[in-house]
A = this chain, B = another copy of it.
Amino acid sequence: MTDKMCFPSLHFCPPDWLLLAEGEVVMPLVSIEERMNWVLSLGSANIEEKNNGQGGPFAAAVFDVEDHRLIAAGVNLVMPLGCSVLHAEIVALMRAQHQLGVHRLDLIEGRRFELVSSTEPCAMCLGAIPWAGISQLVCGARDEDARAIGFDEGDKPERWSQKLQQRGITVHKDICRAEAVQLLRDYQVGQGQLY
């Protein structure tokens, strides 16, 4: 059930199917490609479910870097929840922090966390990554792949992956890029709304 937020408190629930998908995943997903493919399957589900025609082709998840176990996943909930901030990466980061009870994941001693994102993060999500305490970023489709179907990725700093690495955040790009691009194209074919 995707509740609307209530005023003045803000309240949002991830969709039921996402919680079910988290429960059903066979852990751990040892290879980086397994983790990406699972995240891409969430993006596909988000298009299929469409939250009444409002789902976007973006998904993300936070994993433990050492044991590859899932902490929390996110899909783009901008339109179903009426909030421009709720990109897949932001939803995954907020849920992971909430589940682990910290406002920065790198405050947990002896553990490191990875964000797997179906497409390279937009300017907002990129800016959110260092604050969230993520140690490793894994990307599927490129920025230009999202732009090619009409999405705006925002104004990102030049050489953004180098800048993350200077902050001690490892970046892996082009993981299952072909499959990630296919997800974007599937959305385009379905004439999904761009936002």
Interface residues of A (CB under 8 A from B): 3, 5, 7-14, 19, 78-79, 81-85, 90, 93-95, 97-99, 101-104, 122-128, 130-133, 152, 154-158, 160, 163-164, 195
Contacts and interface: CB of A to CB of B under 8 A. Distances in A.
A9 B156 CA distance: 30
Contacts of A103: 78-79, 81-84, 195
Contacts of A90: 85
Contacts of A95: 7-8, 10
Given A155-B157, A158-B158, A131 B93 contact: no
A125 to B, nearest CB: 7
Contacts of A127: 122-127, 154-156
A128 B94 contact: no
Nearest to A14: B8
A195 B152 CA distance: 29
26 contacts: A3-B9, A5-B98, A7-B95, A9-B11, A9-B13, A10-B95, A10-B98, A82-B98, A82-B101, A82-B103, A84-B97, A84-B103, A84-B132, A85-B85, A103-B195, A123-B157, A124-B124, A124-B125, A124-B128, A125-B127, A127-B154, A130-B152, A131-B154, A155-B157, A155-B163, A157-B158
Contacts of A122: 127, 131
A71 to B, nearest CB: 12
Contacts of A13: 8-10
Determine which residue in A94, A125, A132 has the highest number of CB atoms from chain B within 10 A of its CB, and name it.
A94
Point out which of A3, A83, A132, A133 has the most chain B C-beta atoms below 10 A from its C-beta. A83
A158 B132 CA distance: 23
